[in-house]
Amino acid sequence: MKAAVLGSPIAHSLSPVLHNAAYQVLGIAIEYTAIDTSIAQLAGRIAELDADHVGYSLTMPLKLDVLNLVSARSSLVEQTGCANTVYRNMHGEWALENTDVFGISRTIRRAGIESVDSAIIIGSGATGRSALSALDHLGVREVTCIARNRDSAGRIRSQGEALGIQVEWADFSEEISLTADLAISTVPGSAQDQIVSKIGARQGLPALFDISYSPWPSVLGSHWKEHGGGVVLGGIEMLLWQASIQVELFTGLPAPVEAMRAALSNGLPTT
């Protein structure tokens, strides 16, 4: 049997480490690989799905465009407008799921944060949409989305309206307010310098969940700690938990989370 993570660039993905560790423990012969795939190549990859495949994991830049290629989907995919998983559902159809939402909410809860009234989301792409749905599960009612792209931020605002969440947009060029219970950064570590410069030397920052994980600590995570921020969470736990649900969708069996965690720890790049 076959499975793969698709995206571009993909060479440094840790998904094969997580998935292959799980299938070894479960005693299931699934070969999980990483396949560099552009948006233009995605339709061809979907067309290759056959009885020898259990599914695909999807990363950037494919999480939005896959909705044009697979019609069966979960309510979370409908809600967020993005998916990170293609799997065969109970009807035997190839279907879409968004396991990032569970990965985000699970990571936050495991840090002892059971509810969030107000939050900041930095970035407005697919992961920002998943973050909003995860925050909905935690009871959030007010969110500020800090993003360059007004149109994509508008998509998050519309999603918030459907969930009963008030979402305000702020541009990176504006003065950033950090009055909230939790901030979630969905931008890569390579794009965090501007955020850090806007924060400056402010103290008493809220808890931070930085979804990036390599390198770790990130530029933003380090700055947050230096300036009296609360809990600082990294994205490696999210990676683990979203993959655990994918394993269960692909196999129908409970994921061996601790074995996956151990493999992930051994597979992390050292800095």
Would you give the DSSP letter of residue 97? E
Identical topology for domains 2-98+237-267 and 112-230:
yes
* pLDDT of 269: 65
Q: Are 42 and 66 in contact (CB under 8 A)?
A: yes
| Domain layout of the chain by residue ranges | 2-98+237-267, 112-230
One-letter amino acid of 173: S
Q: Is 75 exposed, middle or buried (0-12, 13-18, 19+ CB in 10 A)?
A: exposed
Strands ordered across the beta sheet of 142-146: 166-170, 142-146, 118-122, 182-185, 207-210, 232-234
Each of the 271 residues of the chain gets a pLDDT tens digit; together they read 999 999 999 999 999 999 999 999 999 999 999 999 999 999 999 999 999 999 999 999 999 999 999 999 999 999 999 999 999 999 999 999 999 999 999 999 999 999 999 999 999 999 999 999 999 999 999 999 999 888 999 999 999 999 999 999 998 777 777 889 999 999 987 778 888 887 777 777 899 999 998 888 899 999 898 887 778 999 999 999 999 999 999 999 999 999 999 999 988 765 4
Topology of domain 112-230, per CATH?
Answer: Rossmann fold (3.40.50)
Token pair listed for 88 = 């065969």
Q: What is the CATH number of domain 2-98+237-267?
A: 3.40.50.10860
